[in-house]
Amino acid sequence: MENQEGHVIVNRNNLIAEIEFYHPAQNSMPGHLLKKLADSITEEGQREDSVLIILKSFGDRTYCAGASFTELADIQDFESGKQFFMGFANVINAIRKCPKIVIGRIQGKAVGGGVGLAAACDFTMATKYASVRLSELAVGIGPFVIGPAVERKVGLSAFRQMSLQATEWQTAEWAKQKGLFMEVFDSIEQLDAYVTHFSKDLLAKSPLALSGLKKIFWEGTAHWDQLLEERASASGTLILTKYAKEAIAAFLQGN
């Protein structure tokens, strides 16, 4: 991939919309990609020629490295900080509000916001290489915006563990045991084969029934527009602190 700005691409085939995101920095997500991702999910949710959505990233061993640290380092005021973190909030809410089932294809490691994207999907499948980590506390913030989605999937105890063990990886099998992943495979080839099988099976089901299940899956989250905005404000404040600025600078220097 030569596109240094990254991309979000939608491919439609047989009532399935594959939404692929990519960024050369380990599929980390700058603001412009987050906006395009949220917009693409919303658009596919409204299209009559899409019944299922598959959310995936380009590459093999990294699904999503979370927020763009380069962009985080450039934040100098609260409004810019809040706006950046609203990018993840908007993607999560787009998946939540989308009337279509969103399948997450997690082929590799997920960090921070990447875990949040996986958690927001309605059904997730991964490879054994898909270790997960919530690293936010290590850089002076916390997994506030993605927290509701992650906690809803794995429970408060596992969310607490991931949040406080910010420098430790949890395995894909651990994530499956906690409910973040539904299936874990030994290879990307096996993962893709099952994604294809599972998708075809769902296409044979009633679209109205699938839409009804989607509503049930997300019952009790109608307040998330306000909640995630409040969480984005908290992150927008913390990203300006001396601790966060120094931690992010140290990370960038080390890379």
User: What is the three-state SS of 122-158?
Assistant: CEEEEECCCCEECCHHHHCCCCCCCHHHHHHHHCHHH
Question: Are 127 and 187 spatial neighbours (Cβ–Cβ below 8 Å)?
Answer: yes
List the structure tokens of 191: 């993962």
Structure tokens at 164: 């406080």
Half-sphere exposure of 160 (CA within 13 A, CB side): 3
Say whether pLDDT at 249 is over 60. Answer: yes
Flag whether pLDDT at 31 surpasses 60: yes
Tokens of 217: 């899956």
Which CATH number does 7-203 carry? 3.90.226.10
Question: What pLDDT digit, counting tens, does each position of 83-105 carry?
Answer: 999 999 999 999 999 999 999 99
* 149 or 255, greater pLDDT: 149
Structure confidence at residue 168 (pLDDT): 97
Mean pLDDT of 29-45: 97
pLDDT at 253: 87
**If you average pLDDT over residues 157-186, what whole number do you get?**
98
The arithmetic mean of pLDDT across residues 223-233, rounded, is: 98
pLDDT score of 108 more than 80: yes
Q: So what's the pLDDT on residue 129?
A: 98
Q: What is the pLDDT of residue 5?
A: 87
- Cβ atoms within 10 Å of 14's Cβ, excluding its own: 10
- Listed in sequence order, the DSSP H helices in the chain are 31-46, 69-74, 78-97, 113-120, 147-154, 156-164, 172-178, 188-203, 207-217, 224-238, 242-254
pLDDT band at 255 (very low <50, low <70, confident <90, very high): low
Nearest-5° Cα angle at 76, 70 to 79 = 105
Query: pTM of the full predicted structure?
Result: 0.96
Residue 229 confidence class, pLDDT cut points 50, 70, 90: very high
Q: Residue 198: pLDDT above 80?
A: yes
Residue 1 scores a pLDDT above 50: no
For residue 2, pLDDT over 70 is answered with no
DSSP state of 253: H
Residue 63 has pLDDT above 90, yes or no: yes
Say if residue 12's pLDDT is above 50: yes
Q: What is the pLDDT of residue 251?
A: 87
